[in-house]
Amino acid sequence: MSHLFASGEREGYIMVVEDSKSQAMMLKSLLKKHDYKVRDFEDGLSAFKAAMEEPPILIVSDIVMPGMDGYELCEKVKSTKELKEIPIILLTTLQDSMDIIKGLQAGSDNFITKPFDAKYLLSRINYLLANRELRYQGTSDLVLEIMFNGQKYAINSERKQILDLLLSVYENAIQQNHQLIEAQAELRRSNEHLITMNRDLEAFSYTISHDLRTPLNHISMSAQLLHQHYLDKLDEAGASYVETIHSTTKSMAEMINDLLQFSRTGTINIHPQPIDLSEMCRKVMQWIHQDNPERNIDVKIDDNLQLTGDQSLLMVVVKNLLGNSWKYTSKTDHPAIHVSSFQKDGQTVFSFKDNGAGFDPMRAANLFTPFVRLHSQEDFPGTGVGLATAKRIIERHGGRIWAEGEIGKGATFYFSLGQPK
């Protein structure tokens, strides 16, 4: 491959100064691939000593390094008679506007931002090497004073050097802007695709729900009719089969309802309003108790628990949390549930505590994963979707939900709310 500089200069080497081994390896690989000789150094001091012994044709240096940084290395090279004509490219994030001023004061020739574009870096190297003989036709002893951010700075770099550096910064900014525009366009396309997929998923959920419910209802009704009118004609095994059909269809119906609810919570619009959580919890407990009135359980719900959110969605959260407490205290001698709140880091945290079966704290991360259950179906039936739905709803309210518990010592679920999304 041919380069845009004299054959004598091609006999030299490019110095890479980079304390990151991975970055240095990437630069070396790129330059060697394009027939450049390369020597790399991990800090500015060792690089400067090597340059004094054997001057490179060009230096590519990181700025942030231990000991002598890139600016210091650049300034030292440019102030040394034997080295001052060596072009220097500084690698930077350009996160601070002062980077340009420091680069000008140090005498840098070009800035390249990280992560760098390989083609752009190579083009700057070729340009600097091809134009070395033109670089120092300005007045070397001219000191240019500039004002920046209310401060005066003295710049003594050559005029063409200053122009090269500023043009490289401008060119790099244009390149970054093009990349940003492309990224925004890609993000917009992805967002439009995601909206379409969400609509399709919602339509799919409704369709599946309807299509599954219809035959399931027929099976359930047939099982009930069989039980009501033909039970006396069935032997013990037949009656057991009918009961299995009935209980299984009931479980499947619950799963369909939970899945549909879970899918809806991701797309339904949120309508925030003030909510009396104490009243909501008492109402939910009344409904739960009606399904199993013979159970005696100590339920304490603190007064004046107030929050702001979507009433219908937060009702789902409360039903799941209190429903869990009711279910997992079913084998406890003196079951108890306590709903309360407290302040933490300026936020109100709501607490749902029970003294039921609890859970293994080592598996707490799985509590809110759909279809993952920490207890067997035989001990505590369920679909494993309720807590995942609660988590999605809380997160859509800009909040978070978490839990603490121990096996046999109960569980406590906490949540706090933020700004609805």
In this structure, what CATH number is given to the domain that contains residue 297?
3.30.565.10
Cα–Cα dist 70/47, whole Å: 10
Please indicate, yes or no, whether residues 68 and 83 belong to a single structural domain of this protein: yes
Whole-number pLDDT of residue 302? 95
Residues 321 and 407 in one domain: yes
Of these ranges, 134-138, 170-174, 209-213, 282-286, the one predicted with the greatest mean pLDDT is 282-286
Q: Does 257 lie in the same domain as 241?
A: yes
- Same-domain status, 291 and 410: yes
pLDDT digits (tens, 9 = 90+) for 92-113: 776 666 777 787 778 888 878 7
Does residue 175 fall inside a structural domain? no
Domain of residue 109: give its range. 7-157
Query: Is residue 125 domain-shared with residue 92, that is, in the same domain?
Result: yes
At 14 the pLDDT is 95
The pair of structure tokens assigned to 239 is 């009656």
CATH value at residue 35: 3.40.50.2300
Examine the domain organization and report whether 86 and 130 are in the same domain.
yes
Distance (Å, whole) CA 360 – CA 19: 46
pLDDT for res 29: 92
pLDDT given at position 275: 93
- Partners of 353 in the beta sheet? 338, 412
Q: What is the DSSP string of 129-182?
A: HHTGGGTT-S-TT--EEEEETTEEEEE-S-HHHHHHHHHHHHHHHHHHHHHHHH
Residue ending a domain, among 265, 287, 318, is: 265
Averaged pLDDT of the chain = 80
Q: Is 394 in contact with 417 (CB distance < 8 Å)?
A: yes
Q: Tell me the pLDDT band of 138, cut-offs 50, 70 and 90.
A: very low
CB-based contact 359:407 (threshold 8 Å): yes
> Which amino acid makes up residue 92?
T
What's the domain count of the chain?
3
The pair of structure tokens assigned to 17 is: 């100064």
Query: Per DSSP, which regions of 262-335 are E strands?
Result: 272-276, 298-301, 306-310
57 within some domain: yes
148 and 278 fall within a common domain: no
Q: Would you state the pLDDT for residue 139? A: 42
Q: Are residues 405 and 364 in the same domain?
A: yes
Do residue 128 and residue 204 come from a single domain?
Answer: no
- 340 in a domain, yes or no? yes
Is 327 in the same domain as 396? yes
- Which of the residue ranges 55-64, 178-187, 366-375, 401-410 would you say has the lowest mean pLDDT? 366-375
Between 141 and 188, name the one with better pLDDT: 188
Q: Which residue has the higher pLDDT, 354 or 214?
A: 354
Instruction: Sort 309 into a burial class: Cβ within 10 Å, 0-12 / 13-18 / 19+.
Output: buried
Q: pLDDT band at residue 67, thresholds of 50, 70 and 90?
A: confident
